[in-house]
């Protein structure tokens, strides 16, 4: 139940005390004669509507209308009970004094979503500017010249793929090409595609997404270890070496 503000309660109490202090003849005269617009403080259109309803109800009763119509007319013209009337017997007083916001508890529900523009776009644009600035500064201080033209008569030893394919090349030294090049990568991609359907937890907290985090960690560590081995621990003939003993056989 909505709590009535304290200042409105005090105002109603004062008006009730004034009404009780009035004399009985004054109350009888006021009940016999219809109050004027200035005394009752009821808008003119409401008074006109009440008079029209009373006249229609009288006409219906005089013409011998149906029982339901007569009851509805009597209900419309019946005075409000004393318990529901306001100070001075007026029923429209609270409609003009009390604001809806003061008696209604209106609270906005918190939302966990934001608009793409400008919140997300600004962050992505800032990240793009940072990456561009980093690459520009890095290219100024770090020299990355192109290698000489390839010689078809001399194959470099060891012959390594680019670093992002060295994990796959490392698998080729351990398994059959069908297994290393198709089966294992295909199974990894299928598991990653099925992960959103296996783990349907909508939470964004890491402690609630242990399955998804575990699958992605295993995937990243698997290829990271293979790439590191193929980059720094493979020498001439693609044999296993220790870089701190035999040297570094890796170029970007």
Torsion angle of C-alpha atoms 173, 176, 182, 184, degrees rounded to 10 = -70
Question: Tens digits of per-residue pLDDT, 182-226?
Answer: 999 899 889 888 888 888 888 888 888 888 888 889 989 999 999
**156-246 has which CATH code?**
1.10.287
Directed axis angle between helix 184-198 and helix 210-232, to 10°? 160
Res 90: pLDDT: 59
Q: What are the tokens at 125?
A: 């644009």
Res 39: pLDDT: 46
Whether the Cβ atoms of residue 235 and residue 241 lie closer than 8 Å to each other? yes
DSSP structure string for the chain: -PPPPHHHHHHHHHHHHHHHHS-HHHHHHHHHSPPPHHHH---HHHHHHHHHHHHHHHHHHHTT--HHHHHHHHHHHSPPPGGG--GGG-SSHHHHH--HHHHS---PPP-----IIIIIHHHHHHHHHHHHHHHHHHHHHS--PPPPPP-TT---SS----GGGHHHHHHHTTS-HHIIIIIHHHHHHHHHHHHHHH-------GGG-HHHHHHHHHHHHHHHHHHHHHHHSB-GGG-B--HHHH------
What are φ and ψ of residue 224, in 5° steps?
Answer: -65, -45
Count of C-beta atoms within a 10 Å radius of residue 169:
19
**Comparing 55 with 64, which gets the higher pLDDT?**
55
DSSP structure string for 149-186: PP-TT---SS----GGGHHHHHHHTTS-HHIIIIIHHH
Question: Tens digits of per-residue pLDDT, 147-158?
Answer: 788 888 888 888
Mean model confidence pLDDT for the chain = 77
From-to residues of CATH 1.10.287 in the chain = 156-246
Residue 123 has pLDDT above 90, yes or no: yes
Res 84: pLDDT: 55
Res 217: pLDDT: 92
Residue 85: which pLDDT band, with cuts at 50, 70 and 90?
A: low
């Amino acid at each position: 139940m909505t709590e009535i503000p304290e200042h409105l309660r005090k105002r109603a109490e004062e008006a009730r005390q004034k009404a009780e202090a009035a004399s009985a003849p004054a109350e009888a005269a006021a009940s016999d004669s219809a109050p004027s617009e200035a005394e009752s403080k009821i808008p003119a259109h409401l008074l006109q509507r009440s008079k029209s309803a009373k006249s229609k109800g009288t006409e219906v009763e005089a013409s011998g209308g149906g029982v339901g119509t007569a009851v509805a007319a009597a209900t419309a013209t019946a005075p409000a009970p004393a318990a529901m009337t306001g100070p001075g017997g007026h029923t429209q007083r609270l409609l003009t004094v009390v604001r809806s916001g003061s008696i209604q508890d209106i609270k906005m529900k918190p939302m966990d979503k934001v608009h793409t523009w400008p919140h997300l776009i600004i962050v992505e644009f800032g990240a793009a500017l940072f990456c561009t600035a980093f690459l520009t500064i890095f290219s100024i201080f770090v020299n990355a010249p192109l290698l000489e033209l390839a010689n078809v008569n001399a194959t470099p030893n060891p012959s390594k793929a680019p670093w992002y394919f060295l994990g796959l090349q490392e698998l080729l030294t351990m398994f059959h090409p069908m297994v290393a090049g198709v089966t294992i990568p295909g199974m990894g991609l299928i598991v990653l595609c099925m992960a959103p359907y296996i783990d349907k937890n909508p939470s964004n907290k890491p402690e609630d997404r242990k399955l998804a985090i575990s699958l992605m960690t295993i995937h990243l560590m698997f290829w990271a270890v293979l790439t590191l081995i193929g980059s720094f621990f493979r020498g001439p003939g693609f044999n296993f070496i220790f870089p701190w003993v035999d040297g570094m056989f890796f170029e970007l």
